[in-house]
């Protein structure tokens, strides 16, 4: 736990926050962005709004001159409302309709993605003079990859059956869950450039990248590979991390009630209408020293589903606080049951 997190936990004890809530350290978010930007120095980095698109996050990143990646008209309007230039935005949703494409292009966005000929034709018509980035299907080389995009055989077929329109393809992109596999995918990109698509000017290496930590060697190898490809093919690179920039917040929930049933302990948390993506570490703020053998944590929804379970934790009481460390990415407020939406605080 770093000093900022300790300060937040300290404020919890003094009831400084209206829970449930998500708490960010503004400087830490900006520091994360700048650290990743330095690590991915050979790319033009864009923050992926899908990780967390709350206005405070966007304003915070605007202060460090961030670029942004979007996938919807709503996200475009959010960036427009805080004065982000269209040149600083890329649009990565290949399923965009005519209205969204027109709006984004009118605002100054000049990067779009696709994976069918019809999608490419739509982009050529409504977003002229842009980067048209073909999404690659990489599930044949990465088992955990999303099965979306065009395979090598499908690209060959596309080029042979539509040679003229294929010349308009000037970008490549892909979606991966493990950034350490990027070298394998870059091999695929090189094969495509050599065999099929000679006009590639840009490759978007996607997201999933985390803070440097003990990965210095990985980022040095990536920089070397990108430099070599840039010199060989005269291409540029984009990246679009999200989680690594905003996943150092703390989600705070209060205990509404607790009871012991059949030798197990059950704690019911006021998590409001929040859905949070992942818990890295849980800290309990309680005066209790008594431990439970096994504890099940629930939300207040009527389905009584278990959020998570742990062994040998403090026997929490009403009013105690549970702190989910490493929160912030893929944090979603819904209108489920009209529960109170968690507040978001920036320090």
Banded model confidence at residue 97, pLDDT cuts 50, 70, 90: very high
Banded model confidence at residue 213, pLDDT cuts 50, 70, 90: confident
Residue 231's Cβ-count burial label (10 Å; 0-12, 13-18, 19+) is exposed
pLDDT tens for each residue of 328-338: 888 766 666 66
Q: Write down the mean pLDDT value for the chain.
A: 90
Q: 5 in helix, strand or coil?
A: helix
User: What is the reported pLDDT for 302?
Assistant: 64
User: In residues, how long is the chain?
Assistant: 347
Share above pLDDT 70 across residues of the chain, in percent, rounded to a whole number? 92
Cα gap 317→68, rounded to integer Å: 43
| Assigned token pair, 340 | 């109170």
Banded model confidence at residue 308, pLDDT cuts 50, 70, 90: confident
User: What is the reported pLDDT for 1?
Assistant: 60
41 pLDDT above the threshold of 80: yes
User: What is the reported pLDDT for 338?
Assistant: 64
220 pLDDT above the threshold of 90: yes
Q: 41 in helix, strand or coil?
A: coil
pLDDT tens for each residue of 42-69: 999 999 999 999 999 999 999 999 999 9
157 pLDDT above the threshold of 80: yes
Of 133-137, 230-234, 307-311, the range with the lowest mean pLDDT is: 307-311
Banded model confidence at residue 275, pLDDT cuts 50, 70, 90: low
**Which CATH fold topology does 26-245 show?**
TIM Barrel (3.20.20)
4 pLDDT above the threshold of 60: yes
Mean pLDDT along residues 297-317: 82
Mean pLDDT along residues 13-20: 78
307 pLDDT above the threshold of 90: no
Q: Tell me the pTM.
A: 0.91
156 pLDDT above the threshold of 60: yes
Q: Regarding beta strands 274-275 and 264-270, do their DSSP bridges make them parallel or antiparallel, or are they unpaired?
A: unpaired
Q: What is the dihedral of CA 334, 335, 337, 343, to 10 degrees?
A: 70
280 pLDDT above the threshold of 60: no
Cα gap 91→93, rounded to integer Å: 6
More confident residue, 5 or 55: 55
Share above pLDDT 90 across residues of the chain, in percent, rounded to a whole number? 62
pLDDT tens for each residue of 162-195: 999 999 999 999 988 788 899 999 999 999 999 9
Which class would CATH give 3-23+248-346? mainly beta
What proportions of the chain, in percent to the nearest 5, are helix, strand and coil? 35, 25, 40
**Could you tell me the residue ranges of all domains in the chain?**
3-23+248-346, 26-245
Mean pLDDT along residues 297-315: 81
User: What is the reported pLDDT for 272?
Assistant: 66
User: What is the reported pLDDT for 242?
Assistant: 95
User: What is the reported pLDDT for 42?
Assistant: 97
pLDDT tens for each residue of 252-273: 889 999 999 888 899 998 886 5
User: What is the reported pLDDT for 151?
Assistant: 93
Cα gap 322→232, rounded to integer Å: 53
Residue 283's Cβ-count burial label (10 Å; 0-12, 13-18, 19+) is middle
Banded model confidence at residue 144, pLDDT cuts 50, 70, 90: confident
Mean pLDDT along residues 121-129: 97
User: What is the reported pLDDT for 113?
Assistant: 98
């Amino acid at each position: 736990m770093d000093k900022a997190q300790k300060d937040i936990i300290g404020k919890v004890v003094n009831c400084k926050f209206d829970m449930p809530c998500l708490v960010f350290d503004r400087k830490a978010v900006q520091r994360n962005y700048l650290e990743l930007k330095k690590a991915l120095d050979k790319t033009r980095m864009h923050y992926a709004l899908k990780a967390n698109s709350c206005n405070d996050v966007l304003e915070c990143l605007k202060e460090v001159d961030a670029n942004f990646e979007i996938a919807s008209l709503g996200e475009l309007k959010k960036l427009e409302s805080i004065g982000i230039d269209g040149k600083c935005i890329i649009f990565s949703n290949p399923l965009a309709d005519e209205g969204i494409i027109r709006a984004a292009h009118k605002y100054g966005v000049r990067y779009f993605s696709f994976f069918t000929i019809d999608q490419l034709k739509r982009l050529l018509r409504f977003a002229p003079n842009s980067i048209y980035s073909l999404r690659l299907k990489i599930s044949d080389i990465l088992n955990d990859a999303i099965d979306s995009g065009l395979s090598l055989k499908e690209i060959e077929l596309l080029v042979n059956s539509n040679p003229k329109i294929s010349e308009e393809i000037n970008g490549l992109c892909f979606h991966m869950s493990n950034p350490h596999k990027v070298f394998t995918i870059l091999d695929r990109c090189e094969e495509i450039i050599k065999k099929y698509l000679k006009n590639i000017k840009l490759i978007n290496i996607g997201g999933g990248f985390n803070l440097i930590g003990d990965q210095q060697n990985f980022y040095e190898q990536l920089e070397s590979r990108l430099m070599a490809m840039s010199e060989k093919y005269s291409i540029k690179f984009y990246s679009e991390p999200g989680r690594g920039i905003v996943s150092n917040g703390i989600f705070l929930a209060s205990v509404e009630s607790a009871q012991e049933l059949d030798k197990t302990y059950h704690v019911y948390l006021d998590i409001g209408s929040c859905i949070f993506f992942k818990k890295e570490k849980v800290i309990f703020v309680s005066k209790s020293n008594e431990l439970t053998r096994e504890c099940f944590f629930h939300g207040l929804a009527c389905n009584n589903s278990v959020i998570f379970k742990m062994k040998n934790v403090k026997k929490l009481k009403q009013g105690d606080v549970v702190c989910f460390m490493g929160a912030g990415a893929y944090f979603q407020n819904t209108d489920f049951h009209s529960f109170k939406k968690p507040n978001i605080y920036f320090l």
